[in-house]
């Protein structure tokens, strides 16, 4: 049973990661690419959490927290950058 759940989650996370990578490569705008990279970080975090739950350890917990912080700071930074660009284009 444990192996079936592991295989199912691996397949689902792999398909989601492939979709996010495609969106990063093709994405028509900067915001699409940033959102896809944030989703990819969330998928990686989910994979780490599944590994920790299945193997009953907390070795990757600091990495999981670091990924969450990096994803949040990156998304906020890009959102502020885009907002400033839109304000400058509206002024002219």
Q: Is the separation of the CB atoms in 52 and 59 below 8 Å?
A: yes
Nearest CA-CA partner of 50 in 4, 6, 3: 6
Q: pTM of the entire structure?
A: 0.87
**What are the Cα distances from residue 11, in Å, to 7, 14, 16, 18, 78?**
6, 5, 9, 11, 31
Burial of 34 (0-12, 13-18, 19+ CB in 10 A): buried
Task: Provide the residue-wise pLDDT of the chain in tens; the chain has 92 residues.
Answer: 889 999 999 999 999 999 999 999 998 988 899 999 999 999 999 999 999 999 999 999 999 999 999 999 998 999 898 888 888 888 76
- The domain spans of the chain are 2-91
């Amino acid at each position: 049973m444990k192996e079936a759940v592991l295989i199912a989650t691996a397949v689902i996370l792999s398909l989601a990661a492939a979709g996010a990578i495609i969106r990063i490569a093709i994405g028509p705008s900067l915001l699409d690419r940033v959102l896809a990279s944030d989703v990819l970080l969330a998928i990686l975090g989910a994979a780490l959490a599944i590994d920790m739950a299945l193997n009953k350890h907390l070795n990757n917990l600091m990495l999981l927290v670091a990924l969450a912080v990096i994803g949040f700071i990156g998304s906020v930074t890009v959102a502020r950058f885009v907002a400033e660009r839109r304000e400058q284009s509206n002024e002219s």
